[in-house]
Amino acid sequence: DSGVTQTPKHLITATGQRVTLRCSPRSGDLSVYWYQQSLDQGLQFLIQYYNGEERAKGNILERFSAQQFPDLHSELNLSSLELGDSALYFCASSVDVRDGGELFFGEGSRLTVL
């Protein structure tokens, strides 16, 4: 158990809909990362938050957004869903990278868009 909690574990929805994925980082970790894992693209970095503020952005679509709340949990919002958004979405957390330390991944939220 990595200590990172993601909900829901599975989600099935239709094209055009909007979903929210939730992540609780490990206790004490200030950084939260979102990654997408699909069969054709592999694991792709989407976005990082540190202590409530966006720190880095990767290959995140404009239809997707995220935020980190004062209690450090994070949500990834996916809107106007398309078939190609079907994937595993992982949240990961770490202490401030400047101090070293590894990245801990949750077990993922599997999104299926029909």
Partner 1 sequence: GESVGLHLPTLSVQEGDNSIINCAYSNSASDYFIWYKQESGKGPQFIIDIRSNMDKRQGQRVTVLLNKTVKHLSLQIAATQPGDSAVYFCAENPLSGAGSYQLTFGKGTKLSVIP
**What residues line the site for partner 1 (CB under 8 A)?**
2, 4, 31, 33, 35, 42-45, 48, 50, 55-56, 58, 90, 92, 94, 96-98, 102-108
CA distance 80 to 17: 5
Least separation in angstroms between CB 1 and partner 1: 10
Residue spans of beta strands (DSSP E) within the chain? 5-7, 10-13, 19-24, 31-38, 42-50, 53-57, 64-68, 74-78, 87-94, 104-105, 109-113
Least separation in angstroms between CB 104 and partner 1: 7
Residue nearer to partner 1 on the CB measure, 16 or 58 = 58
DSSP state of 25: P
Least separation in angstroms between CB 44 and partner 1: 8
Helix spans in the chain (H): none
Residue nearer to partner 1 on the CB measure, 46 or 78 = 46
Least separation in angstroms between CB 32 and partner 1: 11
Phi-psi group of 40: left, alpha or beta (phi > 0 → left; psi -120 to 50 → alpha; rest → beta): alpha
